[in-house]
Amino acid sequence: MSASAKGERLDRVLAQHRLGTRSEVTKFIRQGRVKVDEVLVTDPSIRIGSAARVTVDDFLLEAPPVLVAWHKPMGVICTVDDPWGRKDLGTEVTEWLRRGLHPVGRLDADTSGLLLFSASGDLTQRLLHPKRRIEKQYRATLEGPLTPKAGLALTRQLEAGVETSLGVFRASGVKVNIEPPTVELVVTEGKNRMVRRMLANSGHPAASLMRLRFGNIMLGDLEEGECRPIPDDELAQLQGLTHRAHEEE
């Protein structure tokens, strides 16, 4: 049986599948209606891994994907519940939250693009740990016109390091376009509004900002507001990135 000290409680897993409240699912677990990997389980508190095969009355529960990519629109707050009634994760990605996934970090309300949702706390921790240095790629549309000379200076400054109130941050893979004035860059840290601070302190504030990539996971042609589960091959590659980064420490 795929029990795991790091997994989720069985009663919580069933509640996330909307099979009832925690008290209701606890009752039918104790009634002997639930099996985990073909073994009858009557303890609601047992923890199971994400690969566990769970059946209720011999009906198999569909396991949620380990990782989901979402194209976050601008204006959405990256909290589960916003007290001022603004659009948030609780209103925009309700299904994945109910199935036990959680956001991997956040994007500011005025930033759009790729936001990952994970069913694995361990994976999320590895993706967000600063020592793992997982790449994040962004594209910014800049305020005002940009000359070739200014574009070259911006490239050099971003690569050399930009001083902000949170520290000095560097970018790699910088690509500047003059018309329209845009810049793509890759960072490996995730401090609050870091990319916007870097651009503003370089003299070229961002009018808009979009995340294009997290590790090897690309936003691609995913439509705004749409989600896609990450297939096993992409997930394995992403997990490999976190392990390699750990080995290189």
Burial of 236 (0-12, 13-18, 19+ CB in 10 A): exposed
Question: 120 φ, ψ to 5°?
Answer: -120, 115
State both tokens at 84.
């001022």
d(C-alpha 49, C-alpha 9), whole Å: 9
Residue type, 106: R
SS3 8: strand
The residues, ordered by sequence, that sit 6+ positions from 182 with a Cβ below 8 Å of its Cβ are: 139, 140, 141, 142, 176
Could you tell me the CA-to-CA distances from 239 to 2, 70, 120, 127, 190 in Å, in that order?
20, 19, 11, 9, 19
108 catalytic per annotation? yes
| Alpha carbon distance 199, 205 (integer Å) | 5
Provide the token pair at 185.
Answer: 């860059």
The one catalytic residue among 108, 122, 232, 233:
108
Which residues are marked as active site? 108
